[in-house]
A and B are shown apart, each in its own frame.
Chain A
Amino acid sequence: MTENLRELFSPALLHHIILPALISGIAVSVCAALLGVSLVLRRFSMIGDGLSHVGYGALCVASVLELAPLYVAIPVVLGAAFLLLGQGTSSKLKGENTVALFSTTAMAVGILVSSKAGLTNDVSHYMYGSILSLQKSEVILCVATALLVIAAFVLLYHRVFAVTFDENFSKATGIPVRVYNMAIAALTAVTVVMGMMLMGVLLISSLIVIPTLSAMRLCRSFRGVVVGAVVLSVIGFVLGFFAAVAMDLTPGASVEVVSVGIFLLCCLAGRLRGAE
């Protein structure tokens, strides 16, 4: 462990691996937490999970066809997100059923295609994420996504609140709810694909769901939950990431476990405060 730590602070490693990983990880954590608040409160918690499976399928197909993985995955996941979220709460196929249908189908296609082509190794990369071997373009994409999501939330904060709280009332007062749903879907799709690269297919949805759940234990206001989710998400990521590097763990899993730890602490704190 001490050897790992010493290695961790060597300048070359710091510059080429740790820093890019930290920057993109924090960027994606912030995006996931912000979008997560709206998704969790509208009972779309499993959307991240579903989209990441769709993304996995797309990546498999892309690597078999030898296309650039991101350029295939992003449009496919965007399409799926529009179909899943664009309908809002009033679609005929109800939320979780559609998600289950989409995610398993995409997963199956991905597995079939990649096993037929004998690419299991290459693709398992995306199963667990590759936060320690990011390319510069990927880091830039993460940061750009984060800036976009943060800007959208700052400018449209009150409308996001209104749409999340009561869709029908918002529609009646003339807010273009559909546009907002689409925008949230698009940003979620990009965030999920970024998160897949870092955390892996199986764990990205924890970044979306857990920070909001933790913040909901502590805060009474929407503003509090939004800010709390972002802060807790970043703390969870940074702690989990360094734990992973220091102890040579899988980063995605380590971040998830730390986030759950934070969630349990928040539950405890919420209960203590409630008891006072």
Chain B
Amino acid sequence: MKPLLQCEHVTVQFGTHTVLSDLSFSVEAGDYLSVIGKNGSGKSTLIRCLLRLCPLTDGRIGTAEDFSRKEIGYLPQQSGIQRDFPATVEEVVCSGCLGNHSFLPFYTKKDKLEAEKNMHRLGICQLRKRSYRTLSGGQQQRVLLARALCATRKLLLLDEPVTGLDPEASVEFYDIIRELNEQDHIAIIMVSHDMQKGLEDAKHVLYLDGDVQYFAEIGEFRQSDIARQIAQEGRQHIHLREVYYDRKFT
């Protein structure tokens, strides 16, 4: 069977600046791919390419026959949405259904059921009449995830989903994602700069850092030099933090 999504030799240049060069990887149905890398490593550009928001300079992105890239459920970074927008939770979640049909002016019964199901699945039914702008960061993220689920049955694309969430809310959020992946067999592509937490549930890893591109299964990735390097950097980071706190409190 063809993979759900297949990037072949994708290259993107802005002017003379090459952001992605000759990148190849694939995502199978039910896969969980973590895309990690520092800021400026081309993660955001890759997302935009997958969503067809950014033209490829070279290469192609193919999909399985029964899958269109319109059906990718997308969870954008929070910063893209204005926080004071007047909209109820219900209105936001339902808007995920719009890609399913092209010209109907109203939501169908099926759309409404789908929205209902996804609000239920994410435990936000009791918030349905609440205004989006009055919710906490974690709740807002659940609302946007419910909207994304309305747009897809197969593939979720998450862009830095836990940025701005407190530690407790981000643990909960990772749990939800794992559940969707394991129980509902929705393939996940998660972009993250958190190189520890972002990898815990992953089945595949794509590491981007300038010229270095590394796509591997999680087990293989953990054995690699890159993983060791990341772990070392992480330890240094923790060490620095401890030194800082020691100085501060003694």
Contacts and interface: CB of A to CB of B under 8 A. Distances in A.
A220 B96 contact: no
Contacts of A166: 76, 80-81, 95
B167 interface: no
Contacts of B52: 171-172
Nearest to B103: A155
Given A220-B86, A222-B86, A158 B99 contact: no
B91 interface: yes
Nearest to A212: B86
B106 A172 contact: no
A174 B130 CA distance: 28
A216 interface: yes
Contacts of B82: 41, 43
B244 interface: no
B105 A223 contact: no
* Interface of chain A: mostly helix, strand, loop or mixed: helix
B76 A222 contact: no
Max chain A Cβ within 10 angstroms of own Cβ: one of B51, B87, B105, B134 = B87
Contacts, number: 80
A168 interface: yes
A174 B76 CA distance: 15
Interface string B42-86: 000000000111000000000000000010101010001110011
Nearest to B91: A222
Contacts of B76: 166, 168-169
A162 interface: yes
A71 interface: no
B107 A172 contact: no
Contact of A173 (B87, B94, B96, B131): B96
B186 interface: no
Contacts of B85: 41, 165, 222
A29 B131 CA distance: 27
B86 A216 contact: yes
A221 B98 contact: no
B159 to A, nearest CB: 10
A173 B98 contact: yes
Interface string A106-127: 0000000000000000000000
A154 interface: yes
A165 B105 contact: no
Contacts of A219: 86
B91 A161 contact: yes
A9 interface: no
Given A158-B105, A168-B80, A220 B88 contact: yes
Contacts of A43: 82
A174 B91 contact: no
A175 interface: yes
Contacts of A157: 105
Nearest to A218: B86
Nearest to B159: A168
B180 interface: no
Interface in A172-230: 172-175, 216, 219-225
B131 A221 contact: yes
B206 interface: no
A156 B70 CA distance: 19
A165 B88 contact: no
Contacts of B70: 172-174
B142 interface: no
Interface of A: 41, 43, 154-159, 161-162, 165-166, 168-175, 216, 219-225
18 contacts: A41-B82, A41-B85, A43-B82, A158-B94, A165-B81, A166-B81, A168-B51, A169-B96, A170-B98, A171-B52, A171-B53, A172-B51, A173-B96, A173-B151, A220-B130, A221-B91, A221-B131, A223-B91
Given A158-B105, A168-B76, A221-B86, 5 more contacts: A41-B85, A173-B98, A174-B99, A175-B99, A220-B130
